[in-house]
């Protein structure tokens, strides 16, 4: 059944003057009719957020907000199946993946934010001046204000709540712009917020696209106090320009061209399974996914062969079908982009080990954005396919000889989000991980997250860090008070 999704402003669901259709990446069928927010609705959402901040929400205590965040987490779990259905309909990802990764993490995000806000204090100093006077300096945390939250389609609810939970725990009011490809779970979250007792105007949702639509209207709005954004590096650059006139703070989690390094002493069973996850999870549509694999020459053929074998076993299918291991890409448009890189790789002389195009699928799925898991060899870091983010279940495999060469190749990118190092030499694991020019480096694992640890990237991969105390830093604006004693 096709859903109708409206904007959520000041505690009310609001129609737009225009609508757009969201279609399924699985078979091209209709998923939802979405009401697009125009300037009037975006204005109203920002105003509702401001009104909430100026009212009781702005005077709420930390303990009260922490309890509220826990109620939101409980309510997410109570409505787990609704959220699961919404997320799966929008993205086409296999049900077990959405269950374990997306929805469970949404509840965890709210609990982690509640824990953080009650447990982390701020600086205080007993100050002694050179002339013998004393003073007490202490900082008080205040919310940043009205925060624009702009998120992508790959892990819609997980990435949305990763930002909304700490923002609300810190006492901000948010206007959320979910991706046009995944409007459903952010809308359901509005119902959940109301059911949990989040006051009107604290959580607002505006639907639409980026440029010339709700995204641009929101980020160019004069009355927002900051933007937290996850998405493509190019979009981050546009948003940075949009907020420049008012010098608003930004937190950006952007794209990646992530490397894995496999040394010849690695446990190869564990490594091949780990690489399988890091290349193919969510059809390669996780910002942390590996697209470049550097393998020490002595084990290159074995690792490449076993990884290709693993890729061949991945079974595409409907999200709820028991044998499904891999879903489609998010849209036909995104598939066209990924396929263009696969053609480019072939033109530039890559040897395709597995995949390379569109899989054989039943007629009933022909309208979907299906793609084959693909691995190639034979291209170096000078080529566009090894330099640009593709965001699909694809990777280039490259041999190396020495540790120094591996470090140089992995760091030879304008991105800097994540890396994984596979070795049984623990000294080397620490050493190489620390030399990775990225925000997150894993040793003998991938995408194992502690929500208290910093998350973000360098270079084209982002600005700032979120996670744990780092989120508190972005979503608050401290005032230092100095009292002469």
Residue 253 a catalytic site member = yes
Give 141-210 as a DSSP string: --B--EEEEE--SSSHHHHHHHHHHHHHHTT-EEEEE--TT--HHHHHHHHHHHHHTPPTTSEEE----S
- The residue from 171, 210, 274, 396 that contacts ligand NAD (CB under 6 A) is 210
How many positions of this chain bind ligand NAD (CB under 6 A)? Answer: 31
By CB under 6 A, the residues from 56 to 85 that bind ligand NAD are none
- Residue 219 CB, shortest distance to ligand NAD, in Å, is 5
Q: Which is closer to ligand NAD, CB of 346 or CB of 458?
A: 458
* Backbone CA torsion sign across 280, 281, 286, 287: negative
Q: Which is closer to ligand NAD, CB of 266 or CB of 395?
A: 395
By CB under 6 A, the residues from 278 to 337 that bind ligand NAD are 287
Query: What is the number of other CB atoms lying within 10 angstroms of the CB of residue 281?
Result: 20
Q: Give the alpha-carbon dihedral of 158, 163, 165, 166, to 10 degrees.
A: 140
Q: Is 152 in the site for ligand NAD (CB under 6 A)?
A: yes
- The residue from 48, 76, 83, 254 that contacts ligand NAD (CB under 6 A) is 254
Site string for ligand NAD, 96-135 (x = CB under 6 A): ----------------------------------------
Q: Is 232 in the site for ligand NAD (CB under 6 A)?
A: yes
- Residue 62 CB, shortest distance to ligand NAD, in Å, is 27
Taking alpha carbons only, the member of 456, 480, 26 closest to residue 253 is 456
Largest CA distance in the chain: 84
Stretch that binds ligand NAD, among 127-135, 177-185, 275-283, 336-344 (CB under 6 A): 177-185
- The residue from 102, 225, 253, 291 that contacts ligand NAD (CB under 6 A) is 253
Reduce the DSSP state of residue 138 to 3 states and report it.
strand
Q: Which one is catalytic: 87, 253, 291, 466?
A: 253
- The residue from 7, 24, 91, 154 that contacts ligand NAD (CB under 6 A) is 154
Taking alpha carbons only, the member of 45, 3, 331, 15 closest to residue 177 is 45
Taking alpha carbons only, the member of 367, 349, 369 closest to residue 358 is 369
Mention every residue, 6+ apart, whose C-beta is less than 8 A from residue 82. 188
- Burial of 117 by CB count in 10 Å (0-12 exposed, 13-18 middle, 19+ buried)? buried
Site string for ligand NAD, 365-404 (x = CB under 6 A): ------------------------x-x-------------
Residue nearest to ligand NAD (CB): 210
From first CA to last CA, the distance across the chain in angstroms is: 68
Taking alpha carbons only, the member of 369, 320, 371 closest to residue 96 is 320
Enzyme catalytic residues: 253
Residues interacting with ligand NAD, by CB under 6 A? 150-154, 159, 177, 179-180, 209-211, 215-216, 219, 230-232, 235, 238-239, 253-256, 287, 389, 391, 417, 457, 462
């Amino acid at each position: 059944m096709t859903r109708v999704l409206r904007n959520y402003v000041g505690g009310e669901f609001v129609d737009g003057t225009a609508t757009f259709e969201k279609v399924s990446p699985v078979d091209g069928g209709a998923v939802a009719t979405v009401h697009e927010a125009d300037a009037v609705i975006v204005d109203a959402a920002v105003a509702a957020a401001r009104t909430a901040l100026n009212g009781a929400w702005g005077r709420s205590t930390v303990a009260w907000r922490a309890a509220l965040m826990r109620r939101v987490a409980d309510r997410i779990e109570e409505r787990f199946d609704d959220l699961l259905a919404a997320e799966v309909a929008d993205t086409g990802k296999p049900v077990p993946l959405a269950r374990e990764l997306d929805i469970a993490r949404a509840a965890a995000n709210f609990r982690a934010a509640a824990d953080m806000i009650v447990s982390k204090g701020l600086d205080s100093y007993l100050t002694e001046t050179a002339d013998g006077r004393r003073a007490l300096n202490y900082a008080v945390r205040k919310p940043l204000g009205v925060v624009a939250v702009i998120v992508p389609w790959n892990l819609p609810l997980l990435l949305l709540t990763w930002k909304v939970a700490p923002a609300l725990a810190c006492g901000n009011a948010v206007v959320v712009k979910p991706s046009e490809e995944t409007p459903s779970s952010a809308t359901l979250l509005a119902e959940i917020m109301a059911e949990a007792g989040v006051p009107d105007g604290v959580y607002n949702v505006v639907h639409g696209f980026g440029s010339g639509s709700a995204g641009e209207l929101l980020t160019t709005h004069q009355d927002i106090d900051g933007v937290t954004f996850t998405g493509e590096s190019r979009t981050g650059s546009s948003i940075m320009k949009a907020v420049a006139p008012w010098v608003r703070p930004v937190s950006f989690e952007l794209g990646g061209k992530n490397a894995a390094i496999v040394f010849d002493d690695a446990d190869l069973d564990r490594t091949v399974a780990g690489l399988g996850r890091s290349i193919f999870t969510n059809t390669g549509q996780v910002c942390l996914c590996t697209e470049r694999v550097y393998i020490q020459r002595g084990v290159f053929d074995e690792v490449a062969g076993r990884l290709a074998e693993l890729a061949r076993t991945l079974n595409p299918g409907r999200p709820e079908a028991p044998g499904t291991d891999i879903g489609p890409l998010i849209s036909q448009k995104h598939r066209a982009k990924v396929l263009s890189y696969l053609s480019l790789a072939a033109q530039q002389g890559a040897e395709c080990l597995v995949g390379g195009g569109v899989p054989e699928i039943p007629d009933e799925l022909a309208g979907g954005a299906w793609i084959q898991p693909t691995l190639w060899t034979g291209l170096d870091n000078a080529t566009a396919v090894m330099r640009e983010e593709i965001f699909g279940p694809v990777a280039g495999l490259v041999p190396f000889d020495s540790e120094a060469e591996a470090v140089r190749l992995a760091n030879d990118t304008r991105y800097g989000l994540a890396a994984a190092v596979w070795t049984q030499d623990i000294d080397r694991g620490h050493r190489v991980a620390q030399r990775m020019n990225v925000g997150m480096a894993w040793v003998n694992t991938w995408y194992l997250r502690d929500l208290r640890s910093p998350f973000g990237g360098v270079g084209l991969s982002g600005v700032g860090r979120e996670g744990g105390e780092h989120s508190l830093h972005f979503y608050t604006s401290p005032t230092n008070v100095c009292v002469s004693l």
